[in-house]
């Protein structure tokens, strides 16, 4: 129970970073982002639509993502999100911070459990 609560908090703290990372290489739509999070985390991290889309809209409002409807032949139109220049800078800063944070946590926990 405690672990589950912690995971929720970790997920909240890393959600922006996860989404920004996934659209770094190319624009993706919401379902694709959610599937990639689930697959790459091997089911550890999942986002429901009730969390995913409000977060996408928030990142878009901040100017970190840019959403655009794209229509392809024979398919329904989809909204693709791409990383903006500002989003790219934010992602780089968040990644640096994240690595430092994880390294710090590892140093603490490893020292205590050594």
Partner 1 sequence: MPEWKPEIRRRLAPLKLSPTREEEIAEEIAQHLDDQYQELVTAGSPTDSAFRVTLDQLKNEELLTSNLRSVESDLYCKPGGLGSSNLLGGVLQDIRYVFRMISKSPGFTAVAVLTLALGIGANTAIFSVINGVLLNPLPYKNPNQLVAVKEHDSLPNVMEIQRQVRAFSQGGGINVEPMDYTGGAEPVQVRVGLVNAGFLETLGVQPMLGRIISPGEDVHGGPPHGYHLFSRPRGLRI
Q: Which stretches of the chain bind partner 1, using CB under 8 A?
A: 30-31, 34, 48-55, 57-58, 61, 69, 71, 76, 78-79
Q: How many CB atoms lie within 10 A of CB 19?
A: 28
Tokens at residue 46, please?
Answer: 């999942």
Least spacing, CB of residue 35 vs partner 1, in Å: 8
Residue 3: CB minimum distance to partner 1, A? 21
Distance CA 51, CA 47 (A): 6
Pick 24 or 78: Cβ nearer partner 1? 78
For residue 5, the minimal CB distance to partner 1 (Å) is 16
CA–CA gap between residue 10 and residue 18 (Å, rounded): 11
Of the candidates 27, 82, 79, the one whose C-alpha atom is nearest the C-alpha of residue 53 is 79
Which CB, 21 or 34, lies closer to partner 1? Answer: 34
């Amino acid at each position: 129970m405690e672990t589950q609560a912690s995971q929720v908090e970790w997920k909240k703290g890393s959600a922006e970073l996860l989404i920004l990372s996934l659209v770094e290489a190319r624009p993706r739509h919401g379902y694709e982002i959610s599937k990639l999070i689930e697959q790459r985390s091997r089911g550890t991290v999942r986002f429901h639509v009730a969390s995913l889309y409000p977060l996408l809209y928030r990142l878009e409002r901040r100017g970190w993502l840019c959403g655009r409807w794209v229509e392809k032949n024979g398919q329904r139109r989809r909204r693709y999100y791409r990383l903006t220049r500002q989003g790219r800078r934010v992602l780089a800063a968040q990644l640096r911070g994240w690595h430092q944070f994880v390294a710090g946590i590892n140093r603490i926990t490893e020292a205590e459990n050594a």
